[in-house]
Structure 1
Amino acid sequence: MHSNFKVGSQILDIPSNRGQRRFALLLALLIIVISLAALPFGMKNLPAFGPFLPIFISWFIFGDLLTAFILFNQYRASGVPSLLVMSCTYLFTGLITALHILTFPGIFSAEGMLGADSQTAAWLWIYWHGGFPAGILLYLFVGKRHPKPLTSKSEISMYAGIGLILTIAVVYLLFKLSTGWNHLFPSLIEPRGYWRVLETGVGPAVGVVNLMALVMVMVRFRARGVLHLWISVALLALLFDILLTLFAGTRYSLGWYLARINSVIAATVVLCSVVNEVNRLFIRLSDQHKQLLESGKQLERANEELVRLSSLDGLTEISNRRRLDEIISWELVAPEERHTPLSLLILDVDCFKAYNDHYGHLGGDHVLKTIAQTISREVKPFFGFAARYGGEEFAILLSGLDARGTYEVAEGIRLTIAGLGIEHVGSTASREVTVSVGGYCLPPFQRIDEDEFISLADHCLYEAKNGGRNRCVVTGWVKEPETAGVKPRLAD
C-alpha cells in the first residue's frame, strides 16, 4: 500500500533511519509501560496544582499551531493535498485546545468563559481527542486518492483557502454544539467526576477511532518515513492519554496527570521531528554551501591559472604573442587618453637557425629560455612588458620613454645578452649568441593602427640585421622638437 502513496513533498519523502526508529520504539515502550503500570493507581488523588493545566495546554496550543504552520508551508511548496489535510488537522487541534482551556471551569473563571457551562470543556476534550485521529484518517484517504501534487499556484492557493475556512467552520460548529446545543447530548461531567465519559461509551468510541488511525498509519507506512514514524508515536501517546483519563475519573489524580504528559508527547513529537529534520537539512545545506564556496574558489583559481597559461609561452614562460596583441590593442584603443609615449622593441636572435643546426634543438630551446629570462629581468626597472613574438623573436613594450630612452634600454639588453658568453660558432655576427633590435617610439595621443605600429618596429629590426646584426636601431618621437625624426642609431 505504501507504494501507492508517492508524493513530492520533502517532509513526506524523508526516510527514517535506524537510530530514529530505535528512539521512537523506546519512547513508545516507555509510554506503554508507564501508562499500564500507573493504570491500577490512576484514581489515586494527588495535590492539586492549579497552574499545571494552563501551562500544559499552552504548550499543546503552541506545538499544534506551529506544526500546522510548518506543514502548511510544506503544502504550499509541494502542492501535496494530503499535507494540507494534516496541516488543517493540527490547526483544528490547536484551536479546539484553546477553546477547551478558555471554557475549563476554575481556570479563567469559575464557570468557564465564552458562555460555557459545566459540560462544555468535557465535550471540547472529546472533539479534541477524536478530531485529531479523524484528521489523520482523512489524511490517509486523501493521500491514497490524490497522491499527485497540485501544479497550479492558483489551485494550491484555492484549496489552501478552502481548507482554512472549513477548519475554522468545523471548530466553530463544534464549539456551538458544546455550548448552546450541548443539551442535545449526554452529560459527561458530574460532581463525582467524569466517569460518564466512560459509562456513556463516548470516551471508548474516541479511543477506538484513535486506535484505528494508529493501526492504519503503522500498516501503511511501517515507520519508513520520519513524519509517519512520529505520527504513530503521537497517536499512541494520545491513545494512552484517553485511556488514563477515562480510568482516572477526576482531575488531579495520578492518571489525570500522566494523561496530560501523554498529551504533551502527542502534541510535540511531530513538531520536534520536523524541526530536527529542518535543522539537519540546514546543516547539510551549510556544508554544501561551504563546499560550493570552496569549489568556486578552486574554479576561480583554475580559471586564473588557465588564463595565465593561455597568455604564456610554453617554452620560455613569458607572455606569448596573443597576450602581446591584447596589450598593444588596449594601449592603442583610446589614443586621446594616452598621455605618454609608447615604444615597441622587436628582438631577433642572430643566426639562430645555424645555432639549432650545430647545437641541436635542445640547445636552441635553452638559449631561448635564457634570453627570455634576461629580457624580463632587464625591462622590470622600466615597468616594461616582454613577450615571445614568435620563433626566435621577442617583443618589448615600454611606456614613458622617448626614442633616446628606448634606445638605451634596447642597447642595455643587447649588451647583457652578448655578455652572457653563450658560444655560437655558426654566427656571422659574433662568436657568442647576440641579438638584433629594432624599435619605434610612438608620441603621446597619436592614433595609429596596430599592424602599422608593429610594421614600423619591424622595419627598424630589418635595418639592424642588414647593418651587420648585433646592433640596435630605434626611430620615432623624441622630446626635443628640433630632433624629431632622429637618425637611426647603430651599435658600436
Structure 2
Amino acid sequence: MNNLEFAADRHSHRPRPFKTGSHILDIPSNRNQRRFALLLAIIITVVSLAALPFGTKILPSFGPFLPIFISWFIFADLLTAFILFNQYRASGVPSLLVMSCTYLFTGLITALHILTFPGVFSEQGMLGANQQTSAWLWVFWHSGYPAGIIFYLIAAARFPQALVSKSKISALAAVGLSSTFLLVFCLFKLATAEHKLLPEMIDLNDYRNAVTWGTGLAVAVINMTALLMMAVRFRGRDVLHLWISIALVALMFDIVLTLFAGARYSLGWYLARINSVIAASVMLCSVVNEVSRLFIKLADQHQQLLDSGNKLRIANEELLRLSSLDGLTEIPNRRRFDEIIGWELVVPEARRTPLSLLILDVDCFKAYNDHYGHLGGDHVLKTVAKTIVEEIRPYFGFAARYGGEEFAVLLSGLDARGTYEVAEKIRSAVENLEIAHAGSKALQWVTVSVGGYAVPPLREIAEDDLIAMADECLYEAKNGGRNRSIVKGWILEDAGEPIVIHQGGR
C-alpha cells in the first residue's frame, strides 16, 4: 500500500459481531439421559422398597452424619438457586425465577432445620428451638419443595413469554426473593415462637404422630401431585424437567421411608436422608452440567460468529478492492483516483509536502486499435499500466487508469523538476518496450505523452483546477509532437513560485 492510499484506512469502519444466547429450559433431553434417569429412578425405588421391612430397626446415633448430610444439601440447593436465578436474569423467563426461589426456600429451611435439630449444635437446638421445631421445619421443607414445583408449572403455563424489560426483570426478582425470605421467616416463627398453634409432631425421637395427625400423608400427597403434574406436562422431554422428576421421586421415597420408620436414627430414617441428598444432587449436577454445555455451545457459536465475521470482513475488503480496481489493467480505477486526490486536497493546511499530478495518454491509441484489434489494444493498456506502476514504486506514488487510454499518477514530495524526471522515466520506459505501432505519428513504437503540474505545500487548490492544469500540459505535449513530457508548477528554489516548463522526448 502506498502512502497516498493510507488515508483510505483512516476512514474505514469494521462491523462488530453481535451477541447471542440461550437458557436451560431450551435444552431437550436425549435418549441416553432418559435411560440413565429411568435407571436411577428404578434403583431408588427398589432400594427404598427393599428397606421398608427393616426400616424401623434402630441404628446407633452417628453424630457427624446429619451435619454432613445437611451441609451438602444446603450447598446444593443454594448453588442450584443461584444458577437458576442467573438463568432467569439472562432469559427473563418468569418460571425460572419461581424455580430459583423454590431451591432458595429449601436451602434456607434446611439450614434452619439443622440449626434447630436437638443434639447437633446444642441439646435443645439453637435459635429458640423447642422439641417440635426441627420436625415441623422438616414438614415445611418436604411440602414446600413440591409446592414450589407446582407453582413453577402454573407459572410456566400462565406466563410462557420471557420478559423483555430489564426493569420488569429486576422488579419481579426483588418480589420473588423478598417473598421467599419472608415466607421462610414466617414459617420459622410459626415453628418456634408460635409452636403451640401446631399439633405435636414428635415425642422424643418418635414422630409417628405425623401419620396419626395426617400431616405426613398431606406432605406425600403434595409431592405425588407435583410428580404427576411434572410427568404429564413434560414427560422428561427437557433436561431440567427430567431431573426435577427424579428429584421428586427421591423426595417421595424420603417421605415414605421417614413416615414408615417412625423414629430418628432408624434404618429408614438414615436411608431417607440419603434419598434427600440424591434429590438435591441430581438437580445440581444436572444444572451445572447443562449450564456448562450451554457455555460450550455459546463459545462455539461465538467462535463461529467470529469466523463468519472474519470471512465477511475479508469478503468486504476483497469487494472493496475489486470495486476500486480497473478490471482490465488491475490498477486502481477512476473512482479510487477521485477518492485519493480528494483526501489529499480537502485539508490543504495539513499537507506539509508538495503534491504533483501526471496525466498520461497512449499516443494514437485509436489507430493502434484499428490496426491491431481490441485484444492488441488491451495488451498495450495492461503493459503500459504495469510499466507505470514499476516506475513510480520508488517514489511511493499512486497510479490509476483515468479513462480509456489515459492514466493518472499522484506523487508526493516532488517539485516540478522532480515530477518531470519521473514523467520522463515513465515515458522512456514505455518507449523502450518497443511495442510495434504502425499507425503512430510519433515513432514506430507505442509511446505516451505526459502532462503534469506540481502544487507547493499548504497551497489550496480545487481538484478540477489541478486536473485542468495537468490536462493542459498534456494537450501541449500532444500538440508538440507526442512522445514528450511537459510539467509546470512549483520549483523548490523559487520562492515566488513561477510557472516553468520542462519538455522532453523525441
- The answer to whether the superposition gives a TM-score over 0.5 is yes
Structure 1 unaligned segments of length 5 or more: list them. 1-8
Q: State how far apart, in whole Å, the 2-side matches of 1:142 and 1:325 are.
A: 64
Report the more deviating stretch, 462-471 or 44-53.
44-53
Structure 2 unaligned segments of length 5 or more: list them. 1-21
Determine if contact 2:324/2:333 at 8 Å carries over to the other structure.
yes
Q: State how far apart, in whole Å, the 1-side matches of 2:340 and 2:456 are.
A: 17
Q: State how far apart, in whole Å, the 2-side matches of 1:63 and 1:142 are.
A: 24
Paired residue for 1:398? 411
Paired residue for 1:126? 139
The answer on 1:64 being equivalent to 2:68 is no
Q: What is the CA distance between 1:110 and its match in structure 2?
A: 0.8
Report the more deviating stretch, 202-211 or 157-166.
157-166
Equivalent residue letter for 2:228: V
The answer on 1:270 being equivalent to 2:283 is yes
Partner deviation per Cα, 1:69-113 (whole Å, 9 max, x = no partner): 444445555555544443333232222211111110110001111
Match of 1:367 among 335, 360, 380: 380
Equivalent residue letter for 2:40: L
Match of 2:365 among 349, 352, 356: 352
Q: What is the CA distance between 1:483 and its match in structure 2?
A: 9.5
Paired residue for 1:282? 295
Determine if contact 1:427/1:433 at 8 Å carries over to the other structure.
yes
Equivalent residue letter for 2:505: A
Q: How does 1:285-300 map to 2 (within 5 A)?
A: 285-300=298-313
Determine if contact 1:342/1:399 at 8 Å carries over to the other structure.
yes
Report the more deviating stretch, 180-189 or 119-128.
180-189
Q: What is the CA distance between 1:405 and its match in structure 2?
A: 2.1
Match of 2:422 among 409, 413, 419: 409
Equivalent residue letter for 2:482: R
Q: State how far apart, in whole Å, the 2-side matches of 1:163 and 1:478 are.
A: 82
Paired residue for 1:107? 120
Q: How does 1:437-476 map to 2 (within 5 A)?
A: 437-476=450-489
The answer on 1:167 being equivalent to 2:193 is no
Helix, strand or coil at the partner of 1:112: coil
Q: What is the CA distance between 1:390 and its match in structure 2?
A: 0.9
Q: State how far apart, in whole Å, the 2-side matches of 1:297 and 1:78 are.
A: 28
Helix, strand or coil at the partner of 2:357: strand
Paired residue for 1:219? 232
1:206–1:402 CA distance, 2 compared to 1 (3 A) = closer
Report the more deviating stretch, 111-120 or 249-258.
249-258
Report the more deviating stretch, 349-358 or 45-54.
45-54
Give the alignment's Cα RMSD to 1 decimal. 2.6
How high is the sequence identity, in percent, across the aligned residues? 71
1:290–1:154 CA distance, 2 compared to 1 (3 A) = closer
Determine if contact 2:114/2:134 at 8 Å carries over to the other structure.
yes
Equivalent residue letter for 1:56: F
1:327–1:161 CA distance, 2 compared to 1 (3 A) = closer
Q: State how far apart, in whole Å, the 2-side matches of 1:126 and 1:330 are.
A: 79
Helix, strand or coil at the partner of 1:388: strand
Q: State how far apart, in whole Å, the 2-side matches of 1:394 and 1:186 are.
A: 103
Q: State how far apart, in whole Å, the 2-side matches of 1:258 and 1:90 are.
A: 22
Determine if contact 2:23/2:294 at 8 Å carries over to the other structure.
no
Partner deviation per Cα, 1:255-312 (whole Å, 9 max, x = no partner): 3222111101212322332232222221111111111111221222122212221221
The answer on 1:254 being equivalent to 2:283 is no
Paired residue for 1:432? 445
Determine if contact 2:56/2:261 at 8 Å carries over to the other structure.
yes
Partner deviation per Cα, 1:372-416 (whole Å, 9 max, x = no partner): 101100111122211111111111122222222222221222121
Report the more deviating stretch, 225-234 or 372-381.
225-234
Partner deviation per Cα, 1:112-161 (whole Å, 9 max, x = no partner): 11222222212221221122222323333444455556667666555555
Determine if contact 2:360/2:450 at 8 Å carries over to the other structure.
yes
Paired residue for 1:491? 505
Equivalent residue letter for 2:467: I
Equivalent residue letter for 1:457: A
Paired residue for 2:8? none
Q: What is the CA distance between 1:423 and its match in structure 2?
A: 1.0
Q: State how far apart, in whole Å, the 1-side matches of 2:161 and 2:504 are.
A: 87
Helix, strand or coil at the partner of 2:504: coil
Partner deviation per Cα, 1:183-225 (whole Å, 9 max, x = no partner): 4544433356434434544323322321222122212221222
Q: What is the CA distance between 1:345 and its match in structure 2?
A: 1.5
TM-score, normalising length: structure 2: 0.87
Partner deviation per Cα, 1:434-460 (whole Å, 9 max, x = no partner): 111122222233222211111111111
Determine if contact 1:464/1:490 at 8 Å carries over to the other structure.
no
Report the more deviating stretch, 14-23 or 468-477.
14-23
1:351–1:283 CA distance, 2 compared to 1 (3 A) = same
Paired residue for 1:54? 67
Counting matched residue pairs gives 484
Q: What is the CA distance between 1:349 and its match in structure 2?
A: 0.9
Determine if contact 1:356/1:363 at 8 Å carries over to the other structure.
yes
Partner deviation per Cα, 1:41-92 (whole Å, 9 max, x = no partner): 3344545432221121122222223333444445555555544443333232
Q: State how far apart, in whole Å, the 2-side matches of 1:80 and 1:330 are.
A: 52
Determine if contact 2:486/2:501 at 8 Å carries over to the other structure.
no
Paired residue for 1:3? none
The answer on 1:39 being equivalent to 2:41 is no
1:76–1:419 CA distance, 2 compared to 1 (3 A) = closer
Report the more deviating stretch, 79-88 or 384-393.
79-88
1:142–1:340 CA distance, 2 compared to 1 (3 A) = closer
